[in-house]
Chains A and B, each alone.
Chain A
Amino acid sequence: MDNGCFSSPRCDFPAGLRVLVVDDDPTWLKILEKMLKKCNYEVTTCCLARHALNLLRERKDGYDIVISDVNMPDMDGFKLLEHVGLEMDLPVIMMSVDGETSRVMKGVQHGACDYLLKPIRMKELRNIWQHVFRKRIHEAKEFESFESFESIHLMRNGSELSDDGNLFAVEDVTSTKKRKDADNKHDDKECTDPSSTKKARVVWSVDLHQKFVKAVNQIGFDKVGPKKILDLMNVPWLTRENVASHLQKYRLYLSRIQKENDQRSSSCGMKHSDFPSKDLGSFGFQNPVNKQRDVSIDSYNYSDGSLQLPNVETKSHEGDPKRIVSQSTIAKKGRALNGSITDTNMRESLRVGLNQTFAPLESEGNHAVFDCSIPTQYSWTEVPDMQLKEEHKSLVHLEDSFNQMPLHGKQHHIHVDQSQSVASISSAPSITGEEVAACIEAKPLFSDYKNDHGSSVNSIGNAVDTFPIQPGSLVMNDQSLEPISTTNSGLKTQGYNNLSCIPDLEIYQRSLLLGSEAASAPLDADLHFHWLQGDCYNMNFGLQSIGMSEYYDPGLIAEAPTHLYDSADYSVIDQGLFIA
């Protein structure tokens, strides 16, 4: 993959849609292949579910949609459906000769976006692109920016750490790009010159982004604003609009990471958790990783003030540390967050996050931060404190590199992916950022916070151990959090803070205090779109995320943290990312 991939978005969507067909019946496989080719789709056939999963895992962003038969010898179609939904977050269409209502219902319950009856008509296949498009729109709207930022970080880390990172980054970029394509098509920006909001496309190089992050951190997570950042950055050719849109993306990115962390942990199942209203710490931390909290997506609608964090499910057993599902206290975030992120979005963001290899790590980190900082039910200041405390503890257990927010790491590790998803929840944008910041800063700042969370934190810490990556991921989050400081993207910022490794306690403190500010600042949908415009970002982000995953590879963890935590590294990473 080269950068050129995302420089030319698909304007002829849905042509070229990459479909993976799984069916044990060779006759049907051949027919479907022919039919799909006639629709101008790119077809890959597979007669074994296991093989299909391998294909999907190998190329995380290699496919847009999966069509699978229900009855297969080696694996139940529904199981495959679940796996794909969780791991790759791709739309899956089920097929069967059996059209019994119960079967169809089961399919839908397991997450199938459609259920086709055999014999399948070609006209039915012609329209499968709608499922991809729909998903992209949702994703793009909420998480495009997250992804971008995320991928940027990932890319940086990835490129720094290994070649794989680059590879991932590229892939991610492509996927991000593809997502964007759908959206672009929608916006008709990609194909044309994105000039609606920006005069000219700004390439956010690593250096530039670093300056941006530094400025954000300097100003204060919660107080950040495009003008201030612009002034601090002191880049003559940069305009306020450039900064504003980049800021949005950054925020979204953080949110997304959070969200993804959440998602991962909760297996995309989030139900309103009953947070102990008073005990934030208990919320996220007390629920051990094992505890599966289903945070309903609804919870993400912070309006009700209860952000549910998906239970952290360490999916490490799956061999993918990134998956670590952290019990993000996303639910907490719900507090003041505007539920701009609908359940669907959350899911999608989560899924998106899941897709991103990197996502898990980052999101987790972010997530953790999120949890810390987003006291759904408490005032800003309160919640973050609690969060921080817990995070501190968990952080302590984490690697040293997480000096900033060891706790974050912990929680995040679970949430890493989730944080992204949580980020998506960004409905509580400001809060998120602050919270995250708070979390990051937690250590020094919140030492006097309640200690009841300590235990939970510890437990989380243990969980973290299993995911060495976490610390690294957390660090990332820290970084990301800081720059975001603006309240608008609580979630986003989180992601950002994490990435930026900003151990600036002051900033976090401010973030915490800003709570109210953050809470009231819902993510601006426009921001999303601004973000979207920067498809190049997305690409980068995608890469980043990919890189991150690579980065967070346990084997690499040792290295990662240092890279991550160092803001200087951050810029280096940026370099890798901002290829555009």
Chain B
Amino acid sequence: MDKIHSHRQVAAIKHSLFDQGYLDEQFIQLEELQDDANPNFVEEIVTLYYRDSSRLISNLDHTLERNPLDFNKLDTLMHQFKGSSSSIGAKRVKAECTLFREYCRARNGEGCRRSFQQMKKEYATLRKKLETYFQLARQAGPLETAYRPK
């Protein structure tokens, strides 16, 4: 019973992530790739994403501190970051990236900074939620065991 409950919990978290627009279809794609050969594939990918993208974020931070702003470079960096974020289906993060790039094209420094802050918030929020999700999923164990008769 506990297991089933855990699984339900996990499922609920996932649904809310989708409902609230944190994740998109790409995340499901990743889950479909998960198999016996790579049982923790999704988590590995997310971990990899957060590790690699932190580098991009610090780059963006530095570039935003410059004066005057190098919008081309910012655009390029954000383009990279957006591509990376699309890999795990980070929907909200991606939306902020798009907004950021629009500000870049408009040469709107203030808009860029604002949008960048917002993006970082979404990025952090998603990370926490996914961490919880994976933790619970691991605790719940494979779905089959939940229904194994005692």
Q: Are A98 and B49 interface neighbours, CB within 8 A?
A: no
Q: How does the 8 Å CB contact mask read for A33-48 relative to B, with 1 for contact and 0 for none?
A: 0110010000000000
Cα(A354)–Cα(B29), bound, Å: 38
Nearest B residue (CB) for A26: B52
By a CB distance below 8 angstroms, the chain B residues around A118 are 83, 86-87
Nearest B residue (CB) for A23: B83
A98 and B79 form a contact (CB under 8 A):
yes
**Would you give the 0/1 interface string for A109-125, flagging 1 where the beta carbon is closer than 8 Å to chain B?**
00000000011011000
Instruction: Tell whether, in the assembled complex, residue A27 and residue B80 are in contact, meaning their CB atoms are under 8 Å apart.
Output: no
CB pair B83 A31 closer than 8 Å: no
Give which listed residue, B25, B26, B84, contacts A25 with CB less than 8 A.
B84
* Beta-carbon contacts under 8 Å, B20-79 to A: 24-26, 29-30, 32-33, 35, 38, 41, 44-45, 48-49, 52-53, 76, 79
| Most B C-beta atoms less than 10 A away, residue of A24, A31, A38 | A31
Cβ contact within 8 Å between B48 and A27 = yes
A28 at the interface (CB under 8 A from B): yes
Distance in Å from the Cβ of A352 to the closest Cβ of chain B?
A: 34
Q: Which of B32, B41, B87 contacts A119 (CB 8 A)?
A: B87
Contact with B along A92-128 (1 / 0, CB 8 A): 0000111000000000000000000011011000000
B52: contacting residue among A27, A35, A69, A71, CB under 8 A: A27
Contact B87–A34 (Cβ < 8 Å): no
A278 close to B (CB within 8 Å): no
Q: Check if B88 is an interface residue, CB within 8 A of chain A.
A: yes
Say how far A350's CB is from chain B's closest CB, in angstroms.
34
Q: Is there contact, CB below 8 Å, between B52 and A34?
A: no
Contact present for B33 and A119 (CB under 8 Å): no
**Chain A's nearest CB lies how many Å from the CB of B81?**
10
Q: How many residues of B contact A (CB 8 A)?
A: 26
Find chain A residues with CB under 8 A from B76 CB: 71
Q: Does A30 contact B (CB under 8 A)?
A: yes
**Cβ of A119 and Cβ of B29 under 8 Å apart?**
yes
Of the residues A28, A34, A71, A98, contact of B41 by C-beta under 8 Å: A34
A31-B45, A71-B79 are known contacts. Are A119 and B52 too (CB-CB below 8 A)? Answer: no
The chain B residue sitting closest to A98, CB to CB, is B79
- Any chain A CB within 8 A of the CB of B7? no
* Contact across chains for A97 and B48 when beta carbons are under 8 A apart: no
Complex Cα gap A118–B87 (Å) = 8
Nearest-CB residue, chain A, relative to B25: A119
Chain A, residue nearest B30 (CB): A31
Least CB separation from A122: chain B residue: B29
Residues of A1-29 whose CB lies within 8 A of B: 24-28
For B87, list chain A residues within 8 Å (CB).
Answer: 25, 27-28, 31, 118-119
Docked-complex contact A30 and B83, CB < 8 angstroms: no
Across-interface contacts of A24 in B (CB, < 8 A):
80
Q: Is the CB of B86 within 8 A of A30?
A: no
Candidates B25, B41, B48, B79; contact of A26 at CB < 8 Å? B48
B54 → A minimal CB distance (Å): 12
4 nearest A-B pairs in the assembled complex, by CB-CB distance: A97-B83, A119-B26, A27-B87, A119-B86
What residues of chain B have their CB less than 8 Å away from a CB belonging to chain A?
24-26, 29-30, 32-33, 35, 38, 41, 44-45, 48-49, 52-53, 76, 79-80, 82-84, 86-89
> Interface on A for B, CB 8 Å cutoff?
24-28, 30-31, 34-35, 38, 69, 71, 96-98, 118-119, 121-122
